[in-house]
Amino acid sequence: MIKNDLYLRALKGESVERPPVWMMRQAGRYLPEFIAIREKYDFFTRCRTPELASEITVQPIRRYGMDAAILFSDILVVPQAMNIEVEMKAGVGPWLPNPIRTQKDVDAVLVPDVNEELGYVMESIKVTKQMLNNEIPLIGFAGSPWTILCYCIQGQGSKNFDKAKEFCFTQPVAAHTLLQKITDTTIAYLKEKVKAGVNAVQIFDSWGGMLSPVDYQEFSWKYINQIIEALKEEAPVIAFGKGCWFALEEMAKSNASALGVDWTITPQMARKFTNNNITLQGNFDPSRLLSPPAIIKKMVTQMINDFGKDKYIVNLGHGILPNIPLDNAKAFIDAVKEYKS
């Protein structure tokens, strides 16, 4: 049994004494102990070495005592497993030397045996679970099919993912074939993660907000929903679409256990759009962690009051930034732990 099950209870919509708290990208670049590991090992070595991935996962828990850990990994290990070359370039970020541009390219993409290609992730989960010793739940994650497609077509990060959108709008058959291959791989991957020991899974649709509401339904949400349907009996599923407030009403009709929201919507509107019938997670602006600790604490308390303490998980509206002072991250977590309704 997990000793601190606040996060899991919030996902079930149960009444809690205070909401649980964790931060997206909490295992990472703002921590000096992470930077020390980063100086010795390249990015994908860290992802592929269970001892390193598990150590990085528990670093923020040791320091701040969040209510959930999220496995250190990357959404792009999925395309790597699908016969798509992905590098991490200094100063550039994700870099795909041979982006997908044609139906022939899509045909060459494999739906792999996830245990064979991504077994190292399952090993990382097992090592991490031992290190966590049932203190708190462990979250596994994957990118949404649309977000993965964005990188596969564009070949790198982008402000607008114009090439990805062009591919979808000019070669819709190829685009949907690729999206389905990514979806099938992601379902198999997340199911194995649950078997290996994660207590919940989160789908990150980082680039969903690039699409219009109509295109979002066609190229993103219907694939995310397939994943939710495939996993719903096995583990709680959290769907987070950055910039996707326009889809919250539709998303709330799904079997997701929770929906992540970013800072571009008020808590009141997020509750209204979702009819107050699903757990929400978010939505503190990560840049606001640059404010003085006293202001952070005040804003976090206000945010909890606005969302309500039940059916709510305190988080940022996106990943923590690398330049956040350690005391400011602590103020964010402490504000939640000290919360009294």
The residues, any chain, with a CB within 8 Å of residue 104's CB and separated by 6 or more, are: none
Which residue of the set 7, 151, 312, 339 is catalytic? 151
**176 labelled ligand-binding:** no
Is 291 exposed, middle or buried (CB count within 10 Å of its CB: 0-12, 13-18, 19+)?
Answer: middle
- 38 catalytic residue (yes or no): yes
Is 271 designated active site? no
Edge-to-edge strands, sheet with 200-205? 69-70, 138-143, 200-205, 237-241, 258-261, 279-284, 312-316
74 carries a ligand binding annotation: yes
29 is known to lie in a ligand binding site: yes
> Is 215 annotated for ligand binding?
no
| Residue 239 annotated as binding site | no
Residue 164 to residues 160, 282, 334, Cα–Cα distance (Å)? 9, 28, 41
Q: Give the H or E element holding residue 261.
A: strand 258-261
Q: Give the active site residue among 38, 101, 105, 215.
A: 38
Of 9, 41, 74, 285, the catalytic one is 74
Of 29, 41, 120, 310, catalytic: 29
Q: Is 43 annotated as a binding residue?
A: no
Burial class (CB in 10 A: 0-12, 13-18, 19+), 133: exposed
Give catalytic status of residue 74 as yes or no.
yes
Q: Is 26 annotated as a binding residue?
A: yes
Any binding-site annotation on 68? no
Residue 27, annotated as binding a ligand: yes
- Please list, in sequence order, all residues whose beta carbon lies within 8 angstroms of the beta carbon of residue 178, skipping any fewer than 6 positions away: 100, 106, 109, 149, 152
Catalytic residue selected from 9, 25, 63, 101:
25
Cβ proximity of 181 and 82 under 8 Å: yes
Q: Binding residue per annotation — 318? A: yes
Beta bridge partners of residue 153, listed in sequence order: none
Residues tagged in the binding site annotation for substrate: 25-29, 44, 74, 151, 206, 318
Residues tagged in the binding site annotation: 25-29, 44, 74, 151, 206, 318
Active site residues: 25, 29, 38, 74, 151
